[in-house]
Amino acid sequence: MGYNCVVLIKQVPDTKRITGQAMNEDGTVNRSALPAIFNPEDLNALESAVQIKEQHGGKITVITMGPPGAGSILRDSLYRGADDAVLITDARCAASDTLATSYILSCAVKKIDYDIVLCGRQAIDGDTAQVGPQLAEKLGISQITYVEELTELDNRSITAKRNIGNGWQRVRTSLPVLLTITSDANEPRVAAAKKIMKYKHARTPIEVEQKIRAENPDADDADIKALVAHKCGELEEKGLLIKQWDLDFLGADLTWCGRSGSPTKVHRIRSVVLAAKESKDVEPNESAISDMIHELIEDRIIA
């Protein structure tokens, strides 16, 4: 019978390769200046799902909300063991904060028959770690965050070891559940050559359309539409058409999406460059480290 897993994955700019052009003048991220990658902890979430499937059976569906280019991480997921992939792409998703993002993702997850939802703990660009917990709340299911190990999965209940900063906690709950997975949970497997051969031509409808438009610059919209429908039909027959959903298909309340659904307001963005005088040498002994910790607590940098 197995467990059906839904894995939420996000394409992010590679923040390890930040250059001078990484930020726009208005303080927003210049995504075109940075290579786009699979959010690292989402690979751990996918690996956990693949291990669950290997041990118990079931089906893995990956979902991402993003621009058309995010199709590449969906293909990558198919190479690594996912069975089905969904791209949520819609101009009305733009400017969504974490609340709107988790609402839109919840509409998508509700369309799927699931037992376990897996997210990365945190995305390396937005960095909030809010989407997983908000999504569990919107689905009305239990959540276990900061998961480092899945210790038991049986009789429709799950036990996980979660990191609580200064130690670990074992939590048991019944399914359905949402887990947020940390990088310590496992070592993500590499793409399998056989699956690359099987899925390398898998495409979303928007990728099909972009290619057809590039190859037929003089064609009118009706011709493009017909060519896209034909190609998508061919891909579907071969099991290579990646699902693409928009907000209408999801039946989403538009007031909860995009800018109107996003209460977060960015008032000011500062580029912080630490000057030499702002750094401080700390002797590697207990009293110096204790003084530093007290100073950080007093300055409310740590709690």
- Residue selected from 5, 6, 8, 177 as contacting ligand FAD according to rule CB under 6 A: 8
Kindly state the number of chain residues that form the binding site for ligand FAD, as judged by CB under 6 A.
Answer: 33
Is 39 a binder of ligand FAD (CB under 6 A)? Answer: yes
Closer residue to ligand FAD in complex, CB, 132/176:
132
Is 261 a binder of ligand FAD (CB under 6 A)? Answer: no
Is residue 28 within 8 A of residue 34, CB to CB? The reply is no
Q: How far is the CB of 173 from ligand FAD (least distance, A)?
A: 19
The CB-nearest residue to ligand FAD is 126
Closer residue to ligand FAD in complex, CB, 136/232:
136
Closer residue to ligand FAD in complex, CB, 269/297:
269
Q: How far is the CB of 222 from ligand FAD (least distance, A)?
A: 31
- Residue selected from 4, 44, 48, 64 as contacting ligand FAD according to rule CB under 6 A: 64
Is 60 a binder of ligand FAD (CB under 6 A)? Answer: no
* Span 124-143, contacts to ligand FAD by CB under 6 A: 125-132
Q: How far is the CB of 259 from ligand FAD (least distance, A)?
A: 8
Q: How far is the CB of 160 from ligand FAD (least distance, A)?
A: 16
Which one of the spans 116-124, 187-195, 210-218, 247-255 is the region binding ligand FAD (CB under 6 A)? Answer: 116-124
Which one of the spans 74-82, 260-268, 273-281, 286-294 is the region binding ligand FAD (CB under 6 A)? Answer: 260-268
Closer residue to ligand FAD in complex, CB, 266/302:
266
Name 63's Cβ contacts closer than 8 Å, sequence gap at least 6: 6, 7, 8, 9, 85, 86, 88, 105, 108, 109
Binding mask 178-217 for ligand FAD (x = CB under 6 A): ----------------------------------------
Is 106 a binder of ligand FAD (CB under 6 A)? Answer: no
C-alpha pair distances (Å), 44 with each of 41, 48, 68, 170: 5, 6, 23, 19
Closest CA to 45 of 82, 1, 83: 82
Which one of the spans 186-194, 212-220, 259-267, 270-278 is the region binding ligand FAD (CB under 6 A)? Answer: 259-267
Q: What is the 3-state secondary structure (H, E, C) of the chain?
A: CCCCEEEECCEEECHHHCCCCCECCCCCECHHHCCEEECHHHHHHHHHHHHHHHHHCCCEEEEEECCHHHHHHHHHHHHCCCCEEEEECCHHHCCCCHHHHHHHHHHHHCCCCCCEEEEECCCCCCCCCCHHHHHHHHHCCEEEEEEEEEEEEECCEEEEEEECCCCEEEEEEECCEEEEECCCCCCCCCCCHHHHHHHCCCECHHHHHHHHHHHCCCCCHHHHHHHHHHHHHHHHHCCCECEEECHHHHCCCHHHCCHHHCCCCCCCCCCCCCCHHHCCCCCCCHHHHHHHHHHHHHCCCCC
Chain residues that interact with ligand FAD, rule: CB under 6 A: 8-10, 39, 41-42, 45, 63-66, 94-98, 101, 105, 119-120, 122-123, 125-132, 262, 264, 266
